[in-house]
Structure 1
Amino acid sequence: MTVPLGGIPLAEHAAVYAALDRAGFTDVWSSEVNGADAFTPLALAAAWQPTLRLGTAITPVFTRGPGLLAMSAAALADAAPGRFALGIGASSPVVVGDWNAVEFTEPFRRTRDVLRFLKTALRGETVDGAFDTFAVRRFTLERPPAVPPSVLLAALRPGMLRLAAAEADGVILNWLAADDVPKALAGLGARAPEFEVVARIFVCPTEDADYARALGRRLITSYLTVPAYAEFHRWLGRESALGPMWAAWAAGDRRGAGAAVPDEVVDELVLHGSPEHCRAEVRRYADAGVDVPVLALLPTPELTSGGAAALAALLPRLGPAEGR
């Protein structure tokens, strides 16, 4: 499950983490856009529910210096030895440039360089030298983790997918349908046997299809108009389906862009229906080769009106059907 859950203060997430554990969820993964940072929700989970595995999906490679990113990852790996995975990625020009005042240049090379730096630094080795996009002088972690975390790479198209397979411990996929997974995995090429495939999956467990599709359209027009995601979906073969949305967005017609998203695209990318139906659709990702399907729970009318009681009733219906 993606944490923190919307509408619930972080200070009240001890009960959320316990409920997730009871419902059979094995992992909690954070994101980092403009809500909570990637590490604080996981640090709380490490203390409050030490059975859960922790992961970031993702921490941007531009918004922290390499040393600080290594220190944050090492601290969480120290707090949850053997239970933390660090997911990194380029993020987007809006998050990096507009919101964090950092120049978003050469995202592939910066991601590759940070990945190489982290793999070395998290082993406790000294890093001293120039990468293509930055230089580090004699950095050594004062508290290297006894169990270095695995480092996973967010990847969309072939170049980044191949980098993940060649140098990372796993890949994080995002904004794709279950039927898209085989193409993404084929883009990885050869990879190590222990390589892990994680996918973030948007889930709106309500039978109010009009509500779910309206929310899905807003999300799709927000995300899939970002150049990297637009190119990703062109690569996946959605040029004809999403072309009208891209054209309307480029013309400044936000309302028209949302209206142009076909129902079938929303239904592929934002799972909705009963919790049991959503769980069955998530299983399709696992059957296609995803090792860790990470649910991103979207608000529903039932959750909004029912509060904590509705969430407690939902999680067992949405969680793993056959134990852990």
Structure 2
Amino acid sequence: MGRWGVTLPLTGVPVLDHRALVAELADLGYTDVWSAETAGADAFTPLALAAQWSDGLRLGTAVAPVYTRGPATLAMTAATLAEVSGHRFVLGIGSSSPTIVRRWNAVDFAEPVKRTRDTLRFLKAALAGGKVSEEYETFAVRGFRLERPPERRVPIMLAALRPTMLRLAGREADGAITNWLGAGDVGKVRAELGRGELAARVFVCPTADAAAARALGRALISTYLTVPAYAAFHDWLGRGEALRPMHEAWAAGDRRGAAALVPDEVVDDLVVHGDVDRCRARVAEYAANGVDTPIIAVLPTGADQLDLVRALAPGA
């Protein structure tokens, strides 16, 4: 294996309770810790702590929304994380979703591709230490310069699902971070990205109880894949007809019925489940198919999640 990442913090585990695990990760074979940001921990604080608890892991945001922090605030936070981590930090940014941006943060969710592109261009200039005065298409910045620019270049990756954003990531960023795809989908995504690193969050449910894993997978899939960007992503990947009944039930307000209509084969494509050896082998398929950095996201099974991360390590 090359890189092997894990999503932290784990569901339901307090941030400070990860200290011992983070200190072990490199010895277990993990190379990366990546955060997530929805309605739990923010994307940056767990990484600042992980930077103090480890000295070799790469740390990345997957992802920080480009709408919910101002461009200068994003630049300052990235520069600080680069400094406190000894320049092991990768800034992953993305448009997020209308729910998170508009409903939860009271910010207009307009022109997400352009806003992400403009934020990327601003961040590249600001993190290089220059004074930025620029009229971008979606915002303007005048006279901003970081007081303490990073000593080394901060890699920036884009959350990307479909060709337009994947191509932008390949042209102007250091790579793409994608989500909710099967190992068999990697080739199509990789072809659009071209150059640059491809990271993929892989949902892993380490249990021999296939029925329980599929029930959890259906609930998550019906919640995530009804978001317009993810719905369009899976239309592009070829799952549109398989997921049509789910979408129709969701649109009619039948949330429970929508989850029940997710086919087993879709769950098995998108959620890795089985014993830990099978899960580890399935994650390795993503790497074999062209993912540079698989990032496991451990789903709760009732077992100790810290121990599951240890068991899923490539060196286990």
The TM tier, using the shorter chain, reads: over 0.9
Q: Deviations over 1:213-254 (max 9, x none)?
A: 111011001100000000000000001110110111111111
Aligned to 1:67: 72
Would you say how many aligned residue pairs link Structure 1 and Structure 2? 311
Maintained 8 Å contact 2:135/2:141? yes
Aligned to 2:314: 320
User: Given the alignment, which residue of 93, 97, 104 partners 2:102?
Assistant: 97
Shift of 1:276: 0.8
Aligned to 2:300: 299
Maintained 8 Å contact 1:169/1:196? yes
**Is there any run of 5+ residues in structure 2 with no aligned partner, and where?**
1-5
Aligned to 1:311: 306
The AA in structure 1 aligned to 2:48 is: A
Deviates more, 1:10-19 or 1:201-210: 10-19
Maintained 8 Å contact 2:28/2:315? no
Q: Counterparts of 1:114-125 in structure 2 under 5 Å?
A: 114-125=119-130
Q: Deviations over 1:144-172 (max 9, x none)?
A: 01012100001111111110111001110
Task: Give me the whole-angstrom Cα distance separating, in 2, the residues matched to 1:10 and 1:248.
Answer: 37
Task: Give me the whole-angstrom Cα distance separating, in 2, the residues matched to 1:315 and 1:276.
Answer: 12
The AA in structure 1 aligned to 2:77 is: S
Q: Deviations over 1:2-46 (max 9, x none)?
A: 011122211222112023233211110001111000000000011
Shift of 1:82: 3.0
Aligned to 1:88: 93
Aligned to 1:207: 208
Shift of 1:179: 0.2
Maintained 8 Å contact 1:89/1:153? yes
Deviates more, 1:111-120 or 1:250-259: 250-259
2:191 maps to 1:186: yes
Shift of 1:95: 0.4
Shift of 1:282: 0.4
Aligned to 1:11: 16
Q: Counterparts of 1:27-46 in structure 2 under 5 Å?
A: 27-46=32-51
**Is there any run of 5+ residues in structure 1 with no aligned partner, and where?**
304-309
Task: Give me the whole-angstrom Cα distance separating, in 2, the residues matched to 1:94 and 1:146.
Answer: 36
Task: Give me the whole-angstrom Cα distance separating, in 2, the residues matched to 1:248 and 1:8.
Answer: 33
Q: Counterparts of 1:214-225 in structure 2 under 5 Å?
A: 214-225=215-226
Identity %: 62
User: Given the alignment, which residue of 109, 129, 136 partners 1:131?
Assistant: 136
Task: Give me the whole-angstrom Cα distance separating, in 2, the residues matched to 1:129 and 1:22.
Answer: 45
Aligned to 1:49: 54
The AA in structure 2 aligned to 1:93 is: P
Runs of at least 4 residues of structure 1 off by over 4 A? none
Maintained 8 Å contact 1:81/1:146? no
The AA in structure 1 aligned to 2:187 is: P
User: Given the alignment, which residue of 153, 160, 183 partners 2:158?
Assistant: 153
- Normalised TM-score (structure 1): 0.94
Shift of 1:58: 0.3
2:180 maps to 1:175: yes
Aligned to 2:241: 240
The AA in structure 2 aligned to 1:103 is: D
